[in-house]
Amino acid sequence: MAQEYKIILVVKETSVQPFADALDDLSVAIAAFEIVPGGDWRLEAYAIEEPESATVAERLTLAAVAYGLPQPTFEIEALPQTDWLAENRRSFPAQTIGRFFIHGSHFEGPPPSGAIPLLLDAATAFGSGEHETTRGCLIAIDRIGKQRRPKKPLDVGCGSGILALAMAKRYRRKVIASDLDRESVRVARENMHLNREKAWVRVEHGAGYRLPIIGRNKPYDLIVANILAKPLCQLAKDLKRHLSKDGTVILSGLLQAQEALVLSAHRRQGLRLVNRQRRKGWSTLVLAARR
């Protein structure tokens, strides 16, 4: 089993984004959370190869100099070697988010009355409903369903496929989903099979808006992207080109400290903020075309 590592530093809220960007290509995932309200933040960057202290120090120094920030201290911690998939499956509790009832294959018994069941086991692709960004997107998807049934939903960066699955079941519309990661596509397709939704969700491997099938089927009246702040900003122009005039957008995967950056990129494309959820340092944004 591969050894994994964690780079840890404590910084002010305004320093989270610069130092997260500095560690971006040294890590596979980055998390940040507030230690005390109005105080310091803890930034954690996870790596599958042991980071060299000198390289980490150099990246942080360059960011500190570029942004005029204090040089942070850091530590590199080796994580316990654990079979996280097996552990997560054992500890993955059934949960209700909006109308969605998310459970693993180990769950026995009927779902709550009126709930929409989503069968997902903890897997090698992101998205089981436990992370705050996934939770925020599911709540937004459910709220939209109380107002209307989007005719043509799109999930960009689908991970496990949980959001595409939720849209298909909530709206009873055909959904297109895509991911750059082949393993995520495999897991998402398997989840559609387990939930008997293969006819409703088409999962494709590739670079989102560049996929021919996504281009052929535009415009979409609901686009969901639960990825990271940087790609959200980079894809803002493509998103607008694929969105219908009355379309809605759900964006997540960003920290609260990154909201202004992501909103600015999408406001430049003529979108406005409709709703915002903040959960444990993470944000989910719902946008629409300006009226």
- The string of pLDDT tens digits covering residues 97-111 is 999 999 988 787 788
Arithmetic mean of pLDDT, 264-273: 97
Across 107-111, 161-165, 227-231, the highest mean pLDDT is recorded for 161-165
Among the listed residues 16, 84, 18, 8, the one whose alpha carbon sits nearest the alpha carbon of residue 46 = 8
Q: Which residues contact 139 (CB under 8 A, 6 or more apart)?
A: 97, 98, 277, 284
Q: Is the pLDDT of residue 211 over 70?
A: yes
* Strand duo 5-11 + 41-47: pairing: antiparallel
In this predicted structure, what is the pLDDT of residue 125?
45
Matching fold, domains 5-78 and 125-289: no
pLDDT band at residue 235 using 50, 70 and 90 as cut-offs: very high
226 labelled binding-site residue: yes
Query: Which residue in this structure is represented by tokens 């960003």?
Result: 254
State the chain's mean pLDDT as an integer. 90
At residue 204, the pLDDT reads 96
Fold classification of 5-78 is Alpha-Beta Plaits (3.30.70)
Average pLDDT over every residue of 21-37: 87
Provide the percentage of residues in the chain whose pLDDT is more than 90: 73
pTM, two decimals, is 0.71
Q: Is 134 annotated as a binding residue?
A: yes
Question: Domain limits of the chain?
Answer: 5-78, 125-289
Among 17-26, 79-88, 258-267, 274-283, which stretch is predicted with the lowest mean pLDDT?
79-88
229 has a pLDDT exceeding 60: yes
Residue with tokens 């998390």: 31
> In which band, very low, low, confident or very high, does the pLDDT at 209 lie, cut at 50, 70 and 90?
very high
**Superfamily name and number for 125-289:** Vaccinia Virus protein VP39 (3.40.50.150)
